[in-house]
Amino acid sequence: MKLFTKKPAPAAPAEVKQTREDVTCGELNDAIAAVRDVLASDATARQTIEALWVLASGNEDDAIVKFIDPAPVTMEALDDAIGQVQELEELSAGTLTALRRVRVLFARERSARAAEPVQYATVAQLKAHDAAMFDAFGWALGAMAAELNRSHPTQAHVIDLLNRSASTPERKKLLAGIREFREEDVPKVTQREWLRYQSHGPGR
């Protein structure tokens, strides 16, 4: 007589350890503050890492840091700065982890750009583009300055001036951006940023 034995249940798969590559704005701000506490203000590594503050500026602490273009520092400068600060015993592992995750963000962006097809522009095209953009900004600021000279300046009159003189594609695009601007969309200053402003002034 053949005996049947119960087949053992398959072993549960081993839990896969999840690794996080993103860095939050709070983590980056804390890392910058930690570096600032241990390095002199004229240290190149500190200046490089302080420049990363714009990546987190205006965002909540739990927001994920996003790459901005143009980058506030080069990949080479960031590598050099991380290489210097990782030798400092005063810095915690969390500080170094946050900076290395920013480095990962920069590397991802560089790889994405390298995969894009190369496009070329002539010197004449670049000069024409620059001239058109300077003209557009000068045009908008000129209209605002003219309005401020009035005894009772109004936003409506500024927009009317721009509407009636938007004669180039660049001017029309700039006017469209001015129309779309909403003050309520401007990120609110966090308590951390306000305290930093009080301590160090703007741009710190």
Buried b (16+ CB within 10 A) or exposed e, 22-42: ebbbbbbbbbbebbbeebeee
Note the pLDDT of residue 11.
Answer: 55
Supply 153's token pair. 């300046």
Look at residue 19 in the predicted model and tell me its pLDDT: 53
**Alpha-carbon gap, residue 182 to 110, rounded angstroms:** 32
Q: Do 36 and 50 form a contact (C-beta atoms < 8 A)?
A: yes
| Structure token pair of residue 179 | 């129309």
Contact 103, 31 (CB under 8 A): no
The tokens for 99 are 């900076």
Structure tokens at 147: 């309005």
Distances (CA, A) of 104 to 45, 107, 136: 18, 5, 37
Residue 64 bridge partners (DSSP): 24
Q: Which two three-digit tokens encode residue 164?
A: 């009636």
**What's the average pLDDT block by block, 10 residues per block, for the chain (204 residues)?**
51 49 91 92 91 85 87 91 92 93 91 77 88 89 86 85 86 83 75 74 58
Q: ω before 70 within 30° of 0 (cis)?
A: yes
Give the separation between CA 46 and CA 73, rounded to whole angstroms. 12
Note the pTM of the prediction, 2 decimals.
0.53
Residue labelled with tokens 């996080």: 20
